[in-house]
Structure 1
Amino acid sequence: MKRLFIPIFSIVMLVSCGTAKAPADAATDQSSNVKGDKAFLTAYKEIKADDLKKNLYVIASDEMGGRDTGSPGQKKAGEYMVNYYKSLGISYPKALGSYYQKVPADYMKQRGGSNLPDSENILAFIEGSEKPEEIIVISGHYDHVGTQKGVVYNGADDDGSGTVAVMEIAKAFQSAKKAGKGPKRSILFLHVTGEEHGLFGSEYYTDNPVFTLANTVADLNIDMIGRDDPQNRGKQYVYVIGSEMLSSQLKVINEAANKKTNNLELNYSYDDPNDPQRLYYRSDHYNFAKNNVPVAFFFDGIHEDYHKPTDDVEKIDYKLLEKRTQLVFATAWELANMPTRIVVDKK
């Protein structure tokens, strides 16, 4: 997650999340009832702590050099991810022609990212069986802050945890597809670059979308879900940010999915319009939100190793990472399989 920086154009009024309610039947009438859905449960069980750990030990290894934007280490991490998708039989968007969406250095320089080289977003894609033109985006940034004074900042939590979660969710959806129970709507697995320098990869995608944003149903963004913060030490929780800023239904659907699965404590404290951290604006979901796409940002909080060289794989709570990943998958499953897409009824 990028450090706090609030350009003037980003300052808008937040909608209070304490009182808005979705229609009473929003979650019940449209829910796919994941608790009794055998296809869902089979896919859900594909998300495993050991597999998340295996991938994270590669993504956040010293070999990747801290994955700074456009660096050789980041490109090596990207190659690993692409090979992972190939091994699962998950392809890229046909309109893109490859797994890579180039994010030019000039584009980033114009937005304050001076001296950054060309980089790439990585996109994997599962086409929907009934409503392929409607897209659910599951995003996470795969860059970190690189190597400083010879010390590698591995970024195991920020955002290695989100990176491997997106990969694992893709595996779960692909297993359902192979069993003949693929998602009705299409799923875009979007690994963005340049987040730490200014949300550049997600901004580039929303400026140059592979799929029209008008047909993008929601973005579920995962940025740091492998640790706990001092306020929630030892709890089974996750922060969910922005889930009812634009839609009266997304928060309801996420809560229903949570209750039917691991029943984590969902913390909405960062939805407060007076949040001094202004986290709603500080990760990649915001570039979708400012384009009127409903978002939910899953986050574990600011812990003592944030943006330090001590953000290492040994400190990840892999079982909690598994549960949070399963929650995002369950929410995405609901969004992908509901009879009608969620409404955008807030500004």
Structure 2
Amino acid sequence: MKKILLLAIPALLTACGAQNKQIENADPLKYASSITPEELKEHLYIFASDEFEGRETGEPGQKKAAEYLKAEYKSLNIPSPIGGDDYYQEVPTSYFKRGNIKPTENVVAYIKGSEKPDEILVISSHYDHVGMDDEGNVFNGADDDGSGTVGILEIAEAFMQAKKDGYTPKRSILFLNVTGEEKGLVGSKFYTDEPIFPLANTVANLNIDMIGRIDPNHEGNNNYVYLIGSDKLSTELHELSETVNARTLKLDLDYTYNDENDPNRFYFRSDHYNFAKNNIPIIFYFNGVHADYHKITDTPDKINYEALAKRAQLVFLTAWEIANREERLVVDKAGDSGK
């Protein structure tokens, strides 16, 4: 019996070593290419349809959107970090400072890491929008933030395809679709106040808010994305982001809105900021502003699906690198309260 055990131990160690080599030898571009304009379009024409009634926080359309996300995660066999069939993190109505908001929830799904499961990478978007007007016109929110939300579904699917091939990420990944962003970043604030996983174990947040359009400053160019916040807390994160893009998609990374003196102050205006306030390195992916922002004309037919696919692929590839690098990202800069 002892001989058998002694023989088994080296075999086990060899198998573990092979698994480590596997993830390092995997081709992430293969899985990034599974994020396609066609699949994004199919998702978004449903998610930003009139059926979802503008996804107003707490209203029936938002509930339908939550159910859609839950069903998609279940179809991909991505479990909930809460357990069982519960993919909802309930957000107390007491968190909302204005109006009588009905009960609402973040939608969460989770891939457990193979080697460093206690270290968490959060990929986030907000799935709420602004509802309907008094005349019944629907604010579909195709870009804001239907684009980021369906991007996360495709990113999640890409990671699951890699996992099926034996390439489970070393670190765990939480897919966080937050509610109440339009009400003051409420869903993400609740998550960072009452995290499912300790914030001390959260290595980074990649936040996607509006990545489906081309702004006037880049007319005719679907090969760009604005990056905000990548260098605010971690030099390593910024350098990693630049390196991944340079060796893969080669998008034009525009840092215009990353300027501390930019009057738009976008760094403080989406869900990543609640992570940044807690000294968690972030990147905010953004396509810039356009004439349809918060109007009933923000519809799926206006989306540039090639651009949406490229940007979602970049988020995936950056997430892959963060999740699989040997050491977690170092926070080497002081946070900014933004006050």
2:93 counterpart (80, 102, 105) = 105
TM-score, length-normalised on structure 1? Answer: 0.87
1:346 to 330, 333, 338: 333
* 1:306 is aligned to 2:293: yes
Distance 1:37 1:266, change over 3 A: farther
Match of 1:277 in 2: 264
Q: CA deviation at 1:94?
A: 4.1
- Give the stretch that moved more between structures: 38-47 or 162-171: 38-47
Residue identity in the other structure for 1:68: E
Q: How many residue pairs get matched?
A: 312
Q: CA deviation at 1:251?
A: 1.1
2:107 pairs, out of 109, 122, 125, with: 122
8 A contact 1:104–1:117 mirrored in 2: no
The answer to whether the 8 Å contact 1:95/1:210 transfers is no
Question: Which consecutive residues of structure 2, in runs of 5 or more, have no partner in the other structure?
Answer: 1-19, 335-339
Give the letter for the 2:215 counterpart.
D
Aligned runs of 1:317-336 on 2, under 5 Å?
Answer: 317-336=304-323
2:125 corresponds, among 140, 157, 160, to 140
Runs of 4+ in 1 over 3 A off after TM superposition: 36-39, 94-97
Matches of 1:292 and 1:286, distance apart in 2: 10
Residue-by-residue CA offset, 1:289-336 (whole Å, 9 max, x unaligned)? 000000000000010100110000000000110000000000000000
Distance 1:77 1:95 in 2: 20
Report deviation, 1:97.
6.9
- Quote the residue 2:6 is aligned against: none
Instruction: Give the conservation status (yes or no) of the 8 Å contact 1:96–1:210.
Output: no
Q: Distance in 1 between matches of 2:54 and 2:100?
A: 17
> C-alpha separation between the residues in 2 aligned to 1:67 and 1:241?
26
The Cα offsets for residues 161-197 of structure 1, whole Å up to 9 and x where unpaired, read as: 0000011100000111111101000000000000011
Structure 1 unaligned regions, length at least 5? 1-31
Aligned to 1:71: 59
Paired with 1:86 and 1:191, the residues of 2 have a C-alpha distance of: 15
- Amino acid aligned to 2:285: F
Distance in 1, Cα, partners of 2:289 & 2:92: 30
Report SS of the residue matched to 2:191.
helix
**C-alpha distance after superposition, 1:36-80 (max 9, x if no partner):** 954413211211111111110111000000001011011101111
Q: Distance in 2 between matches of 1:266 and 1:53?
A: 24
Corresponding position of 1:230: 216
1:205 correspondence with 2:172: no
Q: Secondary structure at the match of 2:319?
A: helix
* Conservation of the 8 A alpha-carbon contact between 1:245 and 1:346: yes
Partners of 2:311 and 2:98 in 1: CA distance: 32
Residue 337 (str. 1) matches residue 337 (str. 2): no
Task: Summarize the Cα distance change of 1:217–1:132 in structure 2 as closer, same or farther, 3 Å threshold.
Answer: same
Provide the aligned C-alpha RMSD in A.
1.7
User: Contact 1:69 / 1:144 at 8 angstroms: preserved in 2?
Assistant: yes
**2:306 & 2:85 partners in 1: Cα distance?**
36
CA distance in structure 1 between the aligned counterparts of 2:248 and 2:299, rounded to whole angstroms: 28
- Letter aligned with residue 34 of structure 2: E
**Aligned with 1:148: secondary structure?**
coil
CA contact (8 A) 1:258 1:264 kept: yes
Larger radius of gyration: 2
* 1:323 to 1:181, Cα distance in 2 relative to 1, 3 A: same
Q: How does 1:35-54 map to 2 (within 5 A)?
A: 37-54=25-42
After TM superposition, give the deviation of residue 128 of structure 1 in Å. 0.3
CA distance in 2, matches of 1:96, 1:225: 32
TM-score by length of 2: 0.89
SS at 1:245 equivalent: coil
Distance 2:330 2:233 in 1: 9
* Pick aligned residue for 1:87 from 67, 75, 78: 75
Which piece of structure 1 moves more, 281-290 or 143-152? 143-152
- Distance in 2 (CA, whole Å) between partners of 1:38 and 1:290 is 34
- How do 1:169-318 residues align onto structure 2 when only pairs under 5 Å count? 169-235=155-221, 236-318=223-305
**In 1, Cα distance between the equivalents of 2:261 and 2:247?**
32
Q: Which amino acid aligns with 2:178?
A: V
Matching residue of 1:25: none
What SS is found at the alignment partner of 1:262? coil
The 3-state SS of whatever aligns with 2:149 is helix
- The CA deviation string for residues 253-278 of structure 1, in whole angstroms up to 9 with x for no partner, is 11111112221100111111111111
Residue 96 of structure 1: how far off its partner (Å): 8.7
What SS does the aligned partner of 1:147 have? coil
- Percentage of matched positions with identical amino acids: 58
Letter in 2 for 1:202: S
